[in-house]
Structure 1
Amino acid sequence: MEQRLFTTDFGFSDLTRWFYGPWHIDGTALDTVTAAATGRLGDPPGSAASALRSDSVRLLESPLTTEDIATLWRAASNQGRGTTYFGIDARDWLRQIITVCGEQLRHLGMDAERPLPRSEPKKSAEQVLREILCVRDKLTSPTDSTRHMDPTGAVAEALEGVVSTVDDDLGFRLFLRVLNTYRIPLSQDQYTRFQRLGEYFGYGEFHVHDVEWLTRQP
C-alpha cells in the first residue's frame, strides 16, 4: 500500500496517547486535541488533523455502540481522562474532536474532507482479527496493572468490531495501543507478523516498533 506520511502512530489511536494515564498536561482537553491535530515536527501541514478527523468521522458514523467507542478510548488511553470525566458520551467526544480538526484545517486553508468510504472486507482484516484472537486469553486475564480497567473481553469485542465494521487499519492501530496499555507479552513471531501488517498498511518505521518491548516481557 501507499506509504503513510507519519513515522509513528497517527489519527485517533495516536490521540489516545496524548491522554495516556493521569493526563496532567496544562490546558483543557480540547487544547490537547488541538495540539494533537497540529501534529509533530516534520508532519506535512494538515496531515495530523486530517488523519484524526477521518478516523473520528468513521467511528462516529459506524455501527459500533457508544459504549464500544468509550471502551476503546479507555483501553487505548490506559484509563486516561475519559468521556465520563468530560461529562459527555463517547460520540459527543468524537464530535468535539471533529470540530477541532475542522477548525485546524480551515485555519490552514484546507478543506475538511470526509473520510474515504470503507473498502470491501479484505484479507488484511482477517489477519488482524486472527492476531486479536491470539491474545484474547491474555486480554481476559488482567495483571495487577490492569485490574482497574474495563473487562477485557469487552475490549477485544470492540476491537473486532472496528476491524469488521469500520476499518481494519484503524482497528490494527488501536490494537497496538491496547497491547501497550495492557502490557501483553508478545512472541517474536507475533511481532514479525505485526511488522508485515504494518508494511502492508504503509506505516512509518517507528510505528509497529512501539510494541517491540513487549517481546521481552515474561
Structure 2
Amino acid sequence: MKRHPFAFDFGFSGLTKWFYGPWQHERTALQTVGDAATDRLDEPAGSEASALRSDTVRLLESSLSTDHIATLWRAASNQGHSTPYFGTDARDWLRQIVEVCDEKLRTLRLTAEATPLRSELWAQTEPVLREISLVRDKLSLTTDSTRHMDPTGSVAEALDEVVITVNPDLGFRLFLRVLNTYGTPITEGQYVRFEALGERFGYGEFHVVDVEWLTHQR
C-alpha cells in the first residue's frame, strides 16, 4: 500500500481535531481550516490541502444525508464549531472547507485534481465494518457525555455509510476519531487490528497510536 506523507491524522478526519470542542479559539473557523490545510515540515507542497479537499468533496458529493454528515462532524470534533449555531448546515460547511482548500492550492500555484480510489482501498471495506460492528452498541448508546455529539444515536450508521459508499479509508479515520471523542474502551486485540488496518491504508507512524490510550480504559 502506498504510504501517505503524513505522520499524523490528515484530511477531513484530521480537521476535526482542530475543532475539538467546545470550540473557543481566537482564530475564525475558516482561518482554522486554513491552518489545518497548511503543510507541515517535510510534507510535499499542497499535500494537506489536497487531502482535506479530496475527503471533503467526496463527502459533499456522496449520497450521505446532510444530517448524517452533521452527526459525523459533531461526533468526531466533540461538537466543535456546531454548524447550526453558526447558521449553516453541514453541506454548506463542507463547501466552505473546499473553498479554503482551493484558495490554499491557488496560492501555491497548484491545481486541485480528483484522484480515483485505488481498488486495494475498497478491499478493506469488510474489515473496517467488522471493527465498527464490535463497538456499535457503545456508540449507539447515548449518555450524558455523548448526547450533545450524537443525540440520535446514529453515528455508527453514518460511519457504515461512509465506509460503504464514500471511502473505507475515510470511514476508518473517522471511526478512530469518534472512538477518541467518546473515550470508548478497546481491547489490545482491537488495537492490534487497528494498527494492521493503518498499515494497509498507509498511515503514518503517529496516526493509529492516537487511540492506544483507550486500551487502558477497560
- Give the TM interval when normalised to the shorter protein: over 0.9
Q: Give the secondary-structure state (helix, strand or coil) at the position aligned to 1:86.
A: coil
Which amino acid is the alignment partner of residue 82 of structure 1? S
Number of corresponding residues: 218
Rounded Cα–Cα distance in structure 1 between residues aligned with 2:76 and 2:117: 24
* Gapped regions of structure 1 (runs ≥ 5): none
Structure 1 residue aligned with 2:83: 83
Q: Give the secondary-structure state (helix, strand or coil) at the position aligned to 2:175.
A: helix
Rounded Cα–Cα distance in structure 1 between residues aligned with 2:101 and 2:30: 10
- 1:17-32 to 2 correspondences below 5 Å: 17-32=17-32
Shift of 1:42: 3.2
Shift of 1:149: 2.6
Structure 2 residue aligned with 1:166: 166
- 1:187-206 to 2 correspondences below 5 Å: 187-206=187-206
Report if aligned partners of 1:118, 1:166 keep a CA contact under 8 Å in 2: no
Instruction: Calculate percent identity across the aligned residue pairs.
Output: 67
Shift of 1:118: 7.0
Shift of 1:112: 1.2
Q: Deviations over 1:140-177 (max 9, x none)?
A: 23454223331463000000000000000000000000
Q: Give the secondary-structure state (helix, strand or coil) at the position aligned to 1:204.
A: coil
The 1:145/1:41 distance shift into structure 2, 3 A limit, reads farther
Structure 2 residue aligned with 1:114: 114
Does residue 180 of structure 2 align to residue 177 of structure 1?
no
Once structures 1 and 2 are overlaid, which stretch shifts more, 116-125 or 138-147?
116-125
Report if aligned partners of 2:136, 2:156 keep a CA contact under 8 Å in 1: yes
Q: Deviations over 1:79-113 (max 9, x none)?
A: 11121122111111111100100110110011011
Which amino acid is the alignment partner of residue 6 of structure 1? F
Shift of 1:23: 1.6
The 1:142/1:153 distance shift into structure 2, 3 A limit, reads closer
> After TM superposition, what 4+ stretches of structure 1 lie above 6 angstroms from structure 2?
none
Report if aligned partners of 1:6, 1:204 keep a CA contact under 8 Å in 2: yes
Once structures 1 and 2 are overlaid, which stretch shifts more, 186-195 or 82-91?
82-91
Shift of 1:44: 2.1
The 1:75/1:193 distance shift into structure 2, 3 A limit, reads same
The TM-score, its normalising length taken from structure 2, stands at 0.95
Rounded Cα–Cα distance in structure 1 between residues aligned with 2:43 and 2:56: 19
Once structures 1 and 2 are overlaid, which stretch shifts more, 46-55 or 146-155?
146-155
Structure 1 residue aligned with 2:101: 101
Once structures 1 and 2 are overlaid, which stretch shifts more, 172-181 or 21-30?
21-30
Once structures 1 and 2 are overlaid, which stretch shifts more, 51-60 or 119-128?
119-128
- 1:34-53 to 2 correspondences below 5 Å: 34-53=34-53
The TM-score, its normalising length taken from structure 1, stands at 0.95
The 1:130/1:143 distance shift into structure 2, 3 A limit, reads same
The 1:115/1:89 distance shift into structure 2, 3 A limit, reads farther
Rounded Cα–Cα distance in structure 1 between residues aligned with 2:85 and 2:151: 19
The 1:205/1:160 distance shift into structure 2, 3 A limit, reads same
The 1:62/1:89 distance shift into structure 2, 3 A limit, reads same
